[in-house]
Amino acid sequence: MTQVYNFGAGPAMLPAEVMQKAQREFLDYQGMGTGLIEISHRSPEFEAVLNRCDELLIELANIPSNYKILYVHGGAQMQFSAVPLNLLGRSPSKSASYIETGTWGVKARKEAARFGNATTAASSADSGFDRIPAFDPASLPADTAYLHITSNNTLYGTRWHSFPQTGDVPLVADMTSEFLSRELDISQFGVIFAGLQKNLGPAGLAVVIIREDLLGHALEQTPALLDYSVYAGSHSLSNTNNTFAIYMMGLVLEWVKEQGGVATLEAQNEAKAQLLYDVIDASEFYLGVADPAHRSIMNVTFNLAKPELLDAFVNQALEHGLYALKGHRDVGGARASIYNAMPVAGCEALAAFMRDFERDNA
């Protein structure tokens, strides 16, 4: 196989070692003569996989003991429904606040509005979502069930560098595009959720980390399979869960541990992103999308000063083994998604290509 680097936003590249291990074990899991995905979700073998995922998540993300880890169907957007269904009941007026820092935050608020009052506490729409807006937590109404943020904005390449102190109002964070890429104080959050398809494994499932006291407030109409208490009470096995995705996540978590854990990956992620931001900052040919003070280390977004060259940029990059650099259709331009699994060499190769392309086309 020729070496390629996949800069796609998700589903995204997974560590090569993980893919190889999954391939080796696919037909014959631990000498059983059958694949893990062919056996019961209630078998001891799968239970061991699930327990190991819990153990590794607690260790790697430093999750305090008063939090539950849930494996919830439907990916990240399903949590846009599940969060209000589970938490709005905490507020007499069924009110929640949302900070809009991009498409995903807007979608999350619109979904919550189906079940209660979902208001916009702050937004950076006016500046094209190029930053995290200023926000004063004291402005939250007293009966707010929760404040929802998107911690890393996949499309625009911005992230929250520090988080709002919301006191008694639980902070809910969509961490889909950055979970396990940086060290966090989990106790700042009421709920964290992340679709698996960037830093954790295959698409279609989300990890939800919820403070225990927030369970048990689901609205009456909440479908059982969106009720976080049902997941918490059944170790996420109230029905047949996605055993393959959970197994793959387990392999990814082992890999994260082998790399030295989240702190090591965070330092590497900072360095990888810097390689690309250095090219952008030294150039008038590439124009960064995100305000430098709010830049993401997972999604690096930029435009070309000559936008007519974008297709040539993306296509020539492809010829150099640099895949999927086209920006999201809502934003345009180019985007390099550089999750945990992207090696430093991939960012070095892209930085070199960008310099060469600028030299040839400026």
3-state secondary structure of 100: strand
d(CA 141, CA 60): 35
Smallest separation (angstroms) from ligand PMP to the CB of 150: 5
**Residues near 322 by Cβ (< 8 Å), separated by ≥ 6?**
4, 5, 7, 346, 349, 350, 353
| Residue 21: active-site member | no
Indicate the residue among 104 and 357 with the shorter CB distance to ligand PMP: 104
Query: Of 104, 160, 227, 255, which one is the catalytic site residue?
Result: 104
Residue tagged active-site, from 94, 130, 160, 174: 174
Q: Which of 7, 10, 129, 254 forms a contact with ligand PMP (CB under 6 A)?
A: 10
Q: In the bound complex, what is the minimum distance in angstroms from residue 65's beta carbon to ligand PMP? A: 27
Phi, psi values for residue 334, rounded to 5°: -120, 155
Classify residue 332 as exposed, middle or buried by CB count within 10 Å of its CB (0-12, 13-18, 19+). Answer: middle
When the beta carbons of 147 and 351 are compared against ligand PMP, the nearer one is 147
Quote the CA–CA distance of 159 and 147 in Å, as a whole number.
16
255 has catalytic annotation:
no
**Shortest distance, CB of residue 101 to ligand PMP, whole angstroms?**
10
Only one of the segments 54-62, 173-181, 268-276, 309-317 lies at the binding site for ligand PMP (rule: CB under 6 A); that segment is 173-181
Q: Which of residues 187-206 bind ligand PMP (CB under 6 A)?
A: 195, 203
The CA–CA distances, whole Å, from 250 to 117, 179, 348 equal: 38, 15, 29
Segment contacting ligand PMP by CB under 6 A, of 45-53, 174-182, 234-242, 351-359: 174-182
Strand-pairing partners, residue 130, are none
Residue choice 100, 111, 174, 227 for contact with ligand PMP (CB under 6 A): 174
Residue 77 near ligand PMP by CB under 6 A: yes
Quote the CA–CA distance of 71 and 238 in Å, as a whole number: 11
- Indicate the residue among 39 and 203 with the shorter CB distance to ligand PMP: 203
Q: Contacts with ligand PMP in 100-119 (CB under 6 A)?
A: 104
Nearest distance in Å: CB 194, ligand PMP: 8
Tell me if 299 sits within 8 A of 157, measured CB to CB.
yes
Among 12, 69, 72, 75, binds ligand PMP (CB under 6 A): 75
What is the DSSP secondary structure assignment for residue 227, as one 8-state letter? Answer: -
Q: What is the DSSP letter of 133?
A: P
Within 32-71, the residues that bind ligand PMP by CB under 6 A are none
ω before 170 within 30° of 0 (cis)?
Answer: no
Task: Restricting to residues 139-158, name those near ligand PMP by CB under 6 A.
Answer: 150, 154
Among 97, 177, 243, 340, binds ligand PMP (CB under 6 A): 177
Please identify the residue of the shown chain whose CB is closest to the bound ligand PMP.
75
Tell me, yes or no, if 311 is annotated catalytic.
no
Other Cβ atoms closer than 10 A to 260:
11
Tallying the residues shown for the chain, one arrives at 362
User: For residues 342 and 291, what is the distance between their CA atoms, to the nearest angstrom?
Assistant: 23
Rounded CA gap, 317 and 302, in Å? 15
For strands 299-304 and 334-337, give the pairing. antiparallel
Give me the active site residues, please. Answer: 104, 174, 198
Chain contacts with ligand PMP (rule: CB under 6 A):
9-10, 75-77, 104, 150, 154, 174, 176-177, 195, 203
